[in-house]
Amino acid sequence: MIERTFSMIKPDAVLRGIVGEVIARIERKGLKIVGMRMIRVSEDQASRLYAVHREKPFYGELVSFIRSAPVVVMAIEGESAVSVMRRLIGSTDAKEASPGTVRGDFSCSKSMNVIHASDSVENAQKELAIFFGEGELLSYERLDAKWVT
């Protein structure tokens, strides 16, 4: 089933200059980027994105980190996009992320882990709405679509 998911290339990846490598991996996997821009996350966006962690002791650091430098927000579309992205990026903890995954190859720690991706279709819808407005996502066919899906 074709799904849309949300992903964010985090400040550590932007500051290290590996945004292009992360995007290339997403595209090489056959996923389609249907919305993308570089932004500075607002306090409101950060609090909505990380609302589930609000009562946890690391919440303040999480919000501070995501607002510390620009990020690249993306809407990604493809067959089972949510689960495919989660496998592509790897485990949250750098020590547990498998080689070949984005986090396994590039993350430095559990908090500086290069990329965020929605963990469910429901959360993807909520997270996409935080960063993209009505009519901002595009529709197009990749030339290799018949081989990828």
Active-site residue 116, yes or no?
yes
Mean pLDDT of 67-79: 98
Q: What is the pLDDT of residues 14-42, one digit of tens each?
A: 999 999 999 999 999 999 999 999 999 99
The more confident residue out of 118 and 109 is 118
Looking at residue 145, its pLDDT comes to: 83
pTM here? Answer: 0.94
Three-state DSSP class for residue 100: coil
Domains of the chain, with CATH numbers?
2-133 (3.30.70.141)
Report yes or no: 95 and 45 within 8 Å, Cβ to Cβ: no
Catalytic pick from 25, 116, 128, 132? 116
Order across the sheet with 32-39: list the strands: 32-39, 71-79, 2-9, 115-117
Residue with token string 């074709």: 2
